[in-house]
Amino acid sequence: MKVGMFQTPFVRPERTPRQVFEWALRQAVHADRIGFSEYWVGEHGTLNWEGIPSPELVIAAAALQTEQIKFGPLAHLLPYHHPATLAVQTAWLSQILEGRYMLGVATGAYPTDAALRGITDMKQNHEMMLEAIDIMERVWKAEPFHFEGKYWNAGFPENDGKKHLRDVRPWNNDIQMAMTGLSAPSPSIGFAGRNGFIPASVYAGNEFLKSHFQTYREEMSKGGRQSDRSAHRVVRDVIVADTDAEARDLAINGGIGLAWNEYLKPTYERFGVLGGLVNDPNVDPADVDAEYLAEHVWIVGSVETVRQKLNHWVDELGGPFGTLLIYSHDYIDNPEPWEHSMNLLANEVIPHVGVDQEAGAA
C-alpha cells in the first residue's frame, strides 16, 4: 500500500485565503519530502470549511517545489467549467509536472456551488459532466473539430500553416482521471469502473467500502478490463504519535476533532451516511463525539497501535487496496506534531501494512 493526502481542505472558516493557500502548499512540499505518493486538492466555490475554489493554483505553486509526488484536483466540478478551457488548463499542468498529474472529476454535490453558477436544477449535472468529458477528450487529441452540444459549444481550429498552434495535448498524450464515491451503491464508482478511471472512496464504513470494491470490479469486467484493488484510493482519517495518549490528544483536541464536531458530523448526517460509519445498533449516531470517533472510526495511536489497527482493517476488507489517502486538517498554529504524524505514517507504519497479503486482492 501507498499513502497520500486529500487536501480538502478542512480548515477553520476564520482562516484567511492566504493562510489556507500557504497551509496547502506547505503540506504538499512536506508530503513530497517524506515520501507520500499523491496529493489531491478539493474544489468548492462556497463552502466555508473547504475553502479552496481553485485547486490548480495550489498544484501549480507546488509543482516546482516538489520532485516525486503526483498531484490532482479531487475534483474539478465539470458542470461549472467550460470544458475546452479546462482541457487546455489541465493538459498544461500535466506538461509542467511532466506526468505527475492526475485529474479528478465530479458533478458537484453542494447546491450552493451550483447556485453560484446559476444552476437551480442539479439533476442535469451528470449529463453536463458527460458532455464535458467528451469535449475535453476531443480537445486533448488536438485534431480539428466543431461541436455544438446541449450545454457547450467547442472545437479545435485547423492549423493553416501560417499561424502554428500550440501543442495542447497532455504529457504523453494521456491524463489519468479519477472519481470519488461516498454512497453505496455508488454511481460514481460504477462510472469510474466503466471508464477505467481511478476510484477514490470516502470511508463511510466497511460495508460501503466493500460495495465500492465490488461495483468497480463488476463494471471494469463488463468493459473487458482486469481490475484489482491496487487502483483504489480510500480516504480515511489517521493520526500517529509517539504514544497512544499523544495521538488521542492530537486528534480529539486538535484539527480533526474540531472539523468533525463543527462540520463533518453534520455533513455526514445530511448525506445519510453517518449510521454506516458508526455501524453499531447500540450507538445513536446523534450521540457520537470525538472520543467515540477516535476509538472506533479514526485510526489513532502510536506506530505499533496504528500498524495493528490498519492491518486489522485490511483483514476485515479481505485484503489491501492501493493507496490510503488521509485528510488534511487545520494544524496551522502548531504544525510540527501533525507533520510528525505524517512522517511516522509514511515511513514507519505503511511499509508494514498488508505485507503478508496479496497486493492485488480482488
pLDDT over 90 at 65, yes or no: yes
pLDDT recorded at residue 347: 98
Q: How confident is the model at residue 357 (pLDDT cuts 50, 70, 90)?
A: low
What are the DSSP calls for 124-162, one per residue? Answer: GHHHHHHHHHHHHHHHHHT--EEEE-SS-EEEE----SS
What is the C-alpha separation between 202 and 267, in angstroms, rounded?
13
pLDDT over 80 at 361, yes or no: no
Convert the pLDDT of each residue in 266-291 to its tens digit: 998 888 888 888 878 889 988 999 99
Name the more confident of 225 and 67: 67
pLDDT recorded at residue 280: 84
Give SS3 for 229: helix
pLDDT recorded at residue 23: 98
Distances (CA, A) of 152 to 83, 132, 136, 140, 214: 8, 8, 11, 17, 35
Convert the pLDDT of each residue in 150-199 to its tens digit: 999 999 999 887 878 999 999 999 999 999 998 888 999 999 999 999 99
* Mean pLDDT calculated for residue range 78-83: 98
* Mean pLDDT calculated for residue range 124-152: 97
Mean pLDDT, the chain, whole residue set: 95
Q: Which CATH homologous superfamily contains domain 2-74+182-352?
A: Luciferase-like domain (3.20.20.30)
Every domain of the chain and the residues it spans:
2-74+182-352
Percent of the chain scoring above 70 in pLDDT: 98
* Mean pLDDT calculated for residue range 318-343: 98
pLDDT over 90 at 227, yes or no: no
Side chain identity at 185, as an amino acid letter? P
- The alpha-carbon radius of gyration of the chain (Å, integer) is 20
Residue with cell 497551509: 23
What is the C-alpha separation between 261 and 301, in angstroms, rounded?
20
pLDDT over 60 at 149, yes or no: yes
Convert the pLDDT of each residue in 107-123 to its tens digit: 999 999 999 999 999 99
Whether the CB-CB separation of 7 and 51 falls below 8 Å is answered with: no
Side chain identity at 355, as an amino acid letter? V
For the ranges 31-45, 69-83, 184-198, 236-250, the lowest mean pLDDT is seen at 184-198
State the number of CA atoms in the 13 A half-sphere of 132 facing the CB: 21
* Mean pLDDT calculated for residue range 241-264: 97
pLDDT recorded at residue 358: 52
Q: How confident is the model at residue 362 (pLDDT cuts 50, 70, 90)?
A: very low
pLDDT recorded at residue 160: 82
What is the C-alpha separation between 275 and 283, in angstroms, rounded?
9
pLDDT over 70 at 225, yes or no: yes
pLDDT recorded at residue 268: 86
pLDDT recorded at residue 257: 97
pLDDT recorded at residue 360: 45
